[in-house]
Amino acid sequence: WIDPIGTIIIRKHPIFTLFLDSTAEYINGVEEVDVSGITISGLKCVTVLIGVYDKKSGLPIIGIINQPFVENNGKRWFGRCYWGHPSETSLPPISPLPGTICVSSSEDPTVVKKLKETGYHITEASGAGYKILTVITGFADAYVLTKDSTFKWDTCGPQAILRSLDGDIVVYASALDKDPASVTYGIDTTCNTGGIIAYKDEGVLKDIIKCLT
């Protein structure tokens, strides 16, 4: 939802806040980790997402992801926070790409098959915010979702961070038409219609488009 904070700055730049993404993993807490190092399920998939977008352009400009459950010393959990805006980010420069793509467990098998045939390792993980975070942190090359199953509050903050790293989140359907359009935000819609592709390297986006068209 849009956080109704009534200041001049906030009226110009509305905020999307998702206080707890991947609530099922928060409740269940059963951890499973893929060979790629990506957590498939468990508390590490839980994120808190905050995003600010520009009212005029509809593009995200500030993003914060809090990952509350990163390490456990046996007594308590320690978290980690990631952030980004157009001129600065908390993330280091892009690292070598691992050849992994994150998808949902309900993703179209035909799409998954094509990506595998291109040579990508496919990992199913929980939580839209966490899946995008795997791209931000370099555990995955991209997150591909063909369905209309994410919402603006899932993507606004993470997209701002990706844009600070020269990446983006584009509409999947527009990418398949070979005219990838950035996901944008406003008060008239809450669903990311047309699916999404989150990436940090434009070469990966081009490779995915070539693979799926």
Annotated binding site: 154
Tokens of 30: 């059963």
Q: Is 190 helix (H, G, I), strand (E, B) or coil?
A: coil
Kind and range of the H or E run holding 24 = helix 23-28
State the chain's maximal CA–CA distance in angstroms.
51
Kind and range of the H or E run holding 175 = helix 172-176
Q: Which candidate, 115, 121, 147, places its Cα nearest to that of 134? A: 121
Task: Let me know: does 51 contact 15? Beta carbons within 8 Å.
Answer: yes
Backbone phi, psi, residue 119, to 5°: 115, 5
Annotated binding site for Mg(2+): 154
Task: Let me know: does 122 contact 115? Beta carbons within 8 Å.
Answer: yes
Backbone phi, psi, residue 45, to 5°: -80, -10
Could you tell me the sign of the dihedral formed by the alpha carbons of 165, 36, 151, 63, in that order?
Answer: negative
How far, in Å, CA of 58 to CA of 159, rounded? 12
